[in-house]
Amino acid sequence: MQQKTIMDYETVRLDEENGAVVIIDQTKLPGKIELISLKTAQELWDAIYLLKVRGAPAIGVAAAYGIYVLSIQIDTEDYETFYREFVKQKEYLDSARPTAVNLSWALNRMLRVVETQREKPVFAIKEKLRQEAAAIQEEDILVCKKIGEYGLELVKPGDGILTHCNAGQLATSKYGTATAPIYLGQERGYGFRVFADETRPLLQGARLTAFELQSSGVDVTLICDNMSATVMKNGWVNAVFVGCDRVAANGDTANKIGTSVVAAVAKYYGIPVYICAPTSTIDLNTATGAEINIEQRPAEEVTEMWYQQRMAPEGVKVFNPAFDVTDHELIAGIVTEYGVARAPYTESLKEIFRKKENAGNI
C-alpha cells in the first residue's frame, strides 16, 4: 500500500461527531504529521496565534468551523443569550491574528448568519452556522483552483518560479493560492522549476512549501532568503508568485516578512511579481498598506526557535514583525478568482468586485 504524504491530509476539517475542529499541527512539520482536535475557545485561539493553523484562507476556514463548534456548546434556547455569548466568542477568536483579513471576514460572515436568522429557534441557527462554515470551505477550494487557472496563463512550460513563505495547500483547503498555478501546471506536464525561500524566522518555506511541493513531485529547490537576487541574476526565475494576508484598495499587499525584499529585487531584474489573493483577502476599506496593522511576534522566534541553544546574546533588542507591505508599484498583477487585476489597482480591484457581484458566489 502506498504511504500517505502530507498532501493526503486535510489542512482543516470538522469532526462533527466529537464537536471539534481537526487541523494539521504545522509547527511540527516536516518532521511529524500530527493531527490535533480543537474544542475550546482557548485551543482555537492558541492554534491560530501559534501558527498551528496558518495561511489566510485556512485561518478563515478554521475560524468558521471553530465558531460553529463553540456555538453548539452554548446551552440556551434564548436568542438574546445565545447572541451575546456568540459575539463574545467571535470577538475573542478575532483577536488572535490582526493582519490576516480572512479571520475577521469569516467570523463576520458567521455572525451575519446569527443576525439574519434571529426569528428561528437557536438549534436551527446552529445548523445554519454549520452549513455556512462548510460553504466557506467549499468556496475556498474552488477559489484556489480559479486562481490557479488565471495564474497559469501568466507563465509557460519550463519556467522558473520563485515563491516566499507558504501559500500552498497547507495554507488553504486545497491547491493553495500562490502554488495553485504550480500544482495545475504539474498536473498538465508544465515542468516548472520552483525556488522556495526558506522564509525566516518561522521557516514556512523550508518546513512547509518545500515539503508539500516535494511530496507532490514538483521540481523544487530550497534557498535561503538572501539568495533570491542570485537565482534571479542567474536567469533561473521567470516569475514570482506569492500569497498575501491583506490587499489594500491601492494594491499594496501585506504578506510574510521579506516579501517586499523579493519584490524589490525582482523589479530590478525585470521579473514580474504576482500576488495570488482571493477576493476575501482584498480590503477595499483600507486605502493603502500604511493603514494595515502589522502583527509583532515574540523575540524568541528570532533568537531561539529552531536552535538547540540560544543563538543571540541575552538582552539584545529584537524587531520581529510578522509581515511587511509590498508597494503596489512593485506588483505586476493581483491574481484573483475573477481574473488578474493590474495597475491602477484602485480601479481594477473595484472591477474585480463588480465581476464578483455580477457572477454571484462562485
**Catalytic residue chosen out of the listed positions 159, 197, 245, 324:** 245
Q: Is 324 a catalytic residue?
A: no
Which run of H or E residues covers position 102? helix 101-116
Helix and strand counts by DSSP (H, E) for the chain: 12, 14
- Three-class HEC string of 135-159: HHHHHHHHHHHHHHHHHHCCCCCCC
Identify the DSSP state of 296. B
C-alpha to C-alpha distance for 135 and 64, rounded to whole angstroms: 10
Q: Is the bond preceding residue 30 a cis peptide, omega within 30 degrees?
A: yes
Task: For residues 293 and 346, give the distance between their C-alpha atoms in angstroms, rounded to a whole number.
Answer: 20
For residue 228, give the 3-state DSSP assignment: helix
Helix (H, G, I), strand (E, B) or coil at 175: coil
Integer Cα distance of 359 and 148 in angstroms: 19
Contacts for 321 with CB less than 8 Å, ≥ 6 apart: 257, 294, 295, 296, 297
Could you write out the DSSP letters of every residue in 323-352? EEEE-GGG-SEEEETTEEE-SSHHHHHHHH
The catalytic residues are 245
